Structure 1
């Protein structure tokens, strides 16, 4: 187990755990937002975390980004935390899907970021700044007047494939 801990107040407790289980816990003092996952882990890994809400999304997106393609397991009551947050939490279980053929993850990330980046905009407006995206919509028969939330995952994949081959 590798623990990344930014809060120095938690390090003594982690040191006790490490001593109680020799060779089974590696503690890295640092900020998980600043450490690339590949520098800490190699190959497939399981991530368990107790994240502050303000950094959870950034870390999750970072962990799921890149060339590898990365569910609600249970709810956790706010009283389980000190201090208790104002919202309920959840344990999320993510199972990586197979990498779709003919698509770079970065390409699909760029398309979905642009498509969902301007809330409630039609695709023709939200994708106009992404070179080749409007032509790819046309090539796969997607009406550019549609909004991002109406497209299926397969439709986003088709657009990405069309952009890769253009």
Structure 2
């Protein structure tokens, strides 16, 4: 019998600046595919055809306790990949004590900054929603998933799933 790996610690970096002690939480991006049903002649039912990544895009949501000028000054970044965020997590199995390093790197820009409620003598939190053009998930040094929307790259466990598509269209 085994116990699941659970997040024990984490940190968020914004353009290399550590938010240790400041980052309250991070909602890692939901990965989705756009699938459309197709039922042609001679088919007894529909098959969902993969049309690429979801129209919902890749979003990273994160909350800081208090004011941070680094993130605020990134608002309205001209480049779609103008902000680099790196989330590092330590997950551990309680049966063996084994610790794994999990890392998510994204590039994008802040779509929304919620400065929240302000009240004297009360806690202050700022919430950020960063829409991403790039995503990479690495676990224990192995690049599990890499998505680069601007450069037409989609890799899973080293398998470049768009290589033949790039070749077919001359990229």
TM-score norm. by structure 1 comes to 0.22
Structure ranking higher on relative contact order (CA contacts 8 Å, 6+ apart): 2
Q: Which has the higher helix share?
A: 1
Q: Which has the higher strand share?
A: 2
TM-score norm. by structure 2 comes to 0.22
